[in-house]
Amino acid sequence: MIDFIHVTKSFPNGDVVLNDIDFSVSPGDFLIITGKSGVGKTTIGRLLIHDLVPEKGKIIIDGVDLTKIKPQNIPLIRRKIGFAFQDFRMIPDKTVGENVIVALEIAGYDEKKIPEKVLHTLSLVGLSGKENLFPGQLSGGEIQRASIARAIAADPPVLFADEPTGNLDKETSLEIFKLLQKINSDGITVIIATHDVSLINQRVGRHIHLEKGKIVKEATEKE
């Protein structure tokens, strides 16, 4: 489904954030990408949604080379990747339900089915009854769940979660991790970018570790 082939990406100041990396993600994978801040974890996600483009190499999604994609086709690729951002990017003056509605409208979801879809998605992430609350009324764990709900509402085949446990306590982090496992078991490919190495101790899925823009470890871990 996803192939990074000899991908290199630099910052504007010339620093190389990803240096000739190769990896693949198959449908149904549960992939954890670890590494310190600045090693390129978030950059991988931004490359996936064509928010950034590499200087070298290819990124292929379902046979489409993102380095050669036509501008009018970029929205079609972005519908394949649900992105749960590290800073959430919830619209503060819209309710949780309205935030999910916006994501569905952007994806071109059937308007008649949106109300039911919103309630179903919020139920899936454990936020039933919270649809009329605003982001500022949620706890840290709840707003992370809301961010994930928005990312998966339109049924993308892939979810990229950027530091989903970054500012959460240990117990809440484990709850979010289990939620991501559940989403994966429902058929969505899940990619997690995190500096929280405790997540890899859950012994599930695949693990890639980045240092200085390079993949220094790649392993398959099973429960």
User: What is the tens place of the pLDDT at every residue in 36-77?
Assistant: 888 899 999 999 999 999 999 999 999 999 999 999 999 999
- The DSSP output letter for 146 is H
Q: Which domains occur in the chain, in start order? A: 1-80+156-223 (3.40.50.300), 88-152 (no CATH)
Could you list the pLDDT tens digit for every one of the 223 residues in the chain? 899 999 999 988 888 999 999 999 999 999 999 998 888 999 999 999 999 999 999 999 999 999 999 999 999 999 999 999 988 899 999 999 999 999 999 999 999 999 999 999 999 999 999 999 999 999 999 999 999 999 999 999 999 999 998 888 889 989 999 999 999 999 999 999 998 777 766 656 789 999 988 999 877 765 4
DSSP assignment of 90-114 equals --TTS-HHHHHHHHHHHTT--GGGH
pTM > 0.85: yes
CA distances, 26 to each of 33, 42, 56 (Å): 15, 19, 22
- Give the pLDDT of residue 223: 43
- Give the pLDDT of residue 203: 58
What is the Cα–Cα distance from 207 to 31, expressed in whole angstroms? 6
- Give the pLDDT of residue 1: 86
Residue 156, token pair as written in the block: 């993308």
